[in-house]
Amino acid sequence: MKSPLAQSDLQFVIITGTSGSGKSQALKCLEDLGFFCVDNLPPALFQKFTELCARRSGEVRNVALGIDVRERGFFGDLVENLQILKDQGCQVQLLFLEAQDEALVRRFSESRRPHPLLPQRPVIEGIQLERKRLFDLRRQADRIVDTSDLTVHDLKAWMNQQYGGLGHKQSMKVVLMTFGYKYGVPCDVDFVFDVRFLKNPYFVPDLNPLTGKDHSVQRYVLETREAQRLLQLFHEWFTFLLPLVERENRSYLTLAIGCTGGRHRSVAIVTQLEPMFEKLGYQVIVRHRDISASEPSKTSLPSV
């Protein structure tokens, strides 16, 4: 009778290598590709972890583990535990990232962080010590990648090319944020669009207390030729743009739609953009930043 581990058909990518070579970024890339990722799991727990994954009835099939060598004895049994996983039917690949001394020194200098092995000594000494500790592990690697000349984007593209077929990559998420200009333009966005040229329900007494979520406000804002043309241009523009952005392995794209108070026009436009992006195949997250902040007074209209 086969053990649960043999039946699990788990695929492991073990990421290790020198500090500063991009291990954390590589692990993040695999997470974006749909891998179940764990950083710094002790090798002694590999078997127990695999048993837990196997009990998930196929929910977890692709696993990435980040291994950071700090203490010699702590990781001395890494190779032995990897072999046990292979013997139990798991597919295991050891990915080793490294970089030239000059590149590592530069990266530590740019981040202003000491080397984790010798925090009180020059960075180059820590790099040299780590290379000695990793020598045997490097010889066991299935893949060795020198990241000296790779940017973060280059590494992400390489990871996507090599491992994109294993994981179940999620589509890029599109965040739609509405805001009011009188409360300030948000800074953590990719694109900002101003819709203050559209008809303003603020000046209509029956519509003023409502928001762009109400159908009567939506009809008022969207009935004009300008609004319809705007939505058409949005569709044409984003049908062209979003696949190009997603090609760069972006996980999120944030679009901010602003009107005066962030309560009427911007919200009404987003009610149309949300299904538009969903039909294009993207996950959509909607945030109305100022819809409550701009709530009108019960006794009088808010000041413009």
pLDDT at 145: 93
pLDDT at residue 95 above 90?
A: yes
Choice among 2-6, 109-113, 171-175, 186-190 with the minimum mean pLDDT: 2-6
- In terms of pLDDT, which residue wins out, 173 or 88? 173
Share of residues in the chain with pLDDT > 70 (%): 88
This prediction has a pTM of 0.58
pLDDT at residue 189 above 80?
A: yes
pLDDT at 106: 92
pLDDT at residue 184 above 90?
A: yes
Question: How many domains, the chain?
Answer: 2
Print the SS3 string covering 137-192. HHHCCCEEEECCCCCHHHHHHHHHHHHCCCCCCCCCEEEEEEEEHHHCCCCCCCEE
pLDDT at residue 300 above 50?
A: no
C-alpha–C-alpha distance, residues 63 and 60, integer Å: 7
Same domain assignment for residues 187 and 212: yes
pLDDT at residue 302 above 80?
A: no
Same domain assignment for residues 42 and 154: yes
Same domain assignment for residues 94 and 183: no
Domain assignment present for 297: no
Domain assignment present for 187: yes
Nearest to residue 268, comparing CAs of 224, 219, 234? 219
- In terms of pLDDT, which residue wins out, 296 or 147? 147
pLDDT at 68: 79
Q: pLDDT per residue over 122-141, tens digit each?
A: 999 999 999 998 888 888 88
Same domain assignment for residues 124 and 218: no
Domain assignment present for 211: yes
C-alpha–C-alpha distance, residues 260 and 207, integer Å: 15
**Domain of 33: which CATH number?**
3.40.50.300
Domain assignment present for 52: yes
Domain assignment present for 218: yes
Q: pLDDT per residue over 32-53, tens digit each?
A: 888 889 988 888 888 888 888 8
Same domain assignment for residues 98 and 141: yes
Domain assignment present for 222: yes
Domain assignment present for 300: no
**Domain limit, last residue, from 140, 163, 186:** 163
Confidence of residue 5 (pLDDT cuts 50, 70, 90): very low
Phi, psi of 303 (to 5 degrees): -70, 145
- How many residues would you count in the chain? 304
Domain assignment present for 296: no
Tell me the pLDDT of the chain averaged across its residues. Answer: 85
Query: Do 54 and 10 meet the contact criterion of CB atoms below 8 Å apart?
Result: yes
Which residue range forms the structural domain that includes residue 118?
4-163
